[in-house]
Copies of this chain bind each other. A is one copy, B any other.
Amino acid sequence: MSGLNEDRALADLRKLAMFGKVGRGVNRPALSDADIAGREWLCDRMRECGLEAGIDGVGTVYGRAPGAKATVLLGSHSDSVPMGGWLDGALGVIFALEVARARQARHPSGAVGIDVISFSDEEGTFLACLGSRAFCGLVSNDELASARSSSGEYLVERLDALGLAQRERTEFDPTRHRAYLEAHVEQGPKLIEAGVDIGVVTGIVGLRRFRVRFQGQADHAGTTPMAMRRDAAAAMYAFAVLVPEWLRTASSSDSVWNLGVVSVKPGAANVVASEVELVVEFRDVSQATMAQMEAAFAMLVAERNEIGGVSVHAEPIGAVEPTVMDDGLVTHLEAAAVAEGASRLRLQSGAGHDAMIVGRRAPAGMLFVPSIGGRSHDVTENTSEEDIRRGLRVYDRAVSSILESLDLAGPRVP
């Protein structure tokens, strides 16, 4: 036996949920008093089991296995969105803590070990994935200096007020951190709808986001004949129904898109619309598919603009590249699920995670447990206790097999 204690892990998960507790959920935005209190509590738990733990210069909690020369890095984040769920991030952090705790009890100073991390501000209160980006050296000083919360507070001021600004930042170490494994709630309905126990993530989708502007002319909607109009709203409706048609020709069966932001001006029932803005985003796990979708989208914009009357222009306002999860780690996770008698499904993550960032530096893998109703980023987010326990056992078993395969002298890929 690995010494895993499911009850202890569940109890700690519930204790962490007391920091910023709101109903069944938590309100624990990054670097809030509740977030910092939760992180200090995490440090204490890590130290209790023998890890060298502290909060770093951006708010990330890092617990280091003393004596280890090669480690698997386990964790997630312990901040939440405002009025968020109790498991998003926290589940992965407590899974990591419990698995490390069990390992420390048996191998307190092994050359191969487990480091535990709770990244700062994954949810983007100041800067999305701040902790993992800082860890991977993927954030510039300019970004740090200009990062602000929606209430206008600067990140650097907040770090200073918390006494963290002068601390060092934990850094990714390629010779030490041989792999990163993150457990997380799915935040979507695929597992729960399919009745499957465990999701093995094969990749995290990339994203493209565009603001499309339609420029026409305002006219009296009673006196201007249909044929004389330059109706920006009509042009937008025609465009909006073509977007799925065009993207579908270029997409995979797992691609998703959304046209969820619309602004029509002047916005009067009896005035032909002069100006419309539409935000279009699309996501896929494959870089090649994303490139095809982007090309199809650009062709559609060009074609609609050529019709004339109403000009159509698209401005990119967001881009994230897809991240492929490590094949070896996928295999470890699937084997662990089989050994635990858990049904499993390979799937992609439609939401971003710290594994998306760390995956650019090290082999990364993710395990999902089902989300009831597919809900997340809401206090109603939940997962059954049975699914949490099973997820922890599969995660623990996967970590054990990864650690067994670690070759101290070999390449960093397990």
Please state if B224 and A189 are interface contacts (CB–CB under 8 Å).
yes
Question: Beyond A225-B190, A350-B223, A374-B219, is A270–B281 a contact (Cβ under 8 Å)?
Answer: yes
Please state if B258 and A270 are interface contacts (CB–CB under 8 Å).
yes
Residues of B within 8 A of A244 (CB): 234
Q: Which of A227-277 contact B (CB under 8 A)?
A: 228, 231, 233-234, 237-238, 240-241, 244, 254-262, 264, 266-273
Which listed residue (B193, B222, B261, B352) contacts A283, Cβ 8 A?
B222
The reply to whether the CB of A351 lies closer than 8 angstroms to some CB of chain B is yes
Please state if A260 and B256 are interface contacts (CB–CB under 8 Å).
no
- Docked Cα-Cα span, A259 to B207, in Å, equals 31
The reply to whether the CB of A136 lies closer than 8 angstroms to some CB of chain B is no
Q: Which of A272-291 contact B (CB under 8 A)?
A: 272-273, 279, 281, 283
Please state if A223 and B258 are interface contacts (CB–CB under 8 Å).
no
- Min CB distance A352 to B, Å, is 8
For A, the interface residue count at a CB cutoff of 8 angstroms equals: 55
The reply to whether the CB of A104 lies closer than 8 angstroms to some CB of chain B is no
- Docked Cα-Cα span, A224 to B350, in Å, equals 8
Please state if A186 and B223 are interface contacts (CB–CB under 8 Å).
yes
Please state if A281 and B219 are interface contacts (CB–CB under 8 Å).
no
Please state if A224 and B188 are interface contacts (CB–CB under 8 Å).
yes
- Docked Cα-Cα span, A227 to B259, in Å, equals 15
The reply to whether the CB of A346 lies closer than 8 angstroms to some CB of chain B is no
Which listed residue (B189, B228, B272, B279) contacts A193, Cβ 8 A?
B228
17 contacts between A and B (CB under 8 A): A187-B220, A187-B223, A189-B223, A207-B222, A220-B377, A222-B256, A223-B376, A226-B256, A233-B262, A258-B271, A260-B267, A260-B268, A260-B269, A260-B271, A262-B267, A269-B279, A269-B318
Further contacts, 10 of them, CB under 8 A, given A223-B349, A223-B350: A188-B224, A207-B222, A220-B374, A222-B283, A224-B256, A226-B255, A258-B271, A258-B272, A260-B266, A270-B281
Q: Which 3 A-B pairs have the closest CB atoms?
A: A188-B223, A222-B350, A221-B258
- Residues of A that sit less than 8 Å from B by CB: 186-190, 193, 205, 207, 209, 219-226, 228, 231, 233-234, 237-238, 240-241, 244, 254-262, 264, 266-273, 279, 281, 283, 318, 349-352, 374, 376-377
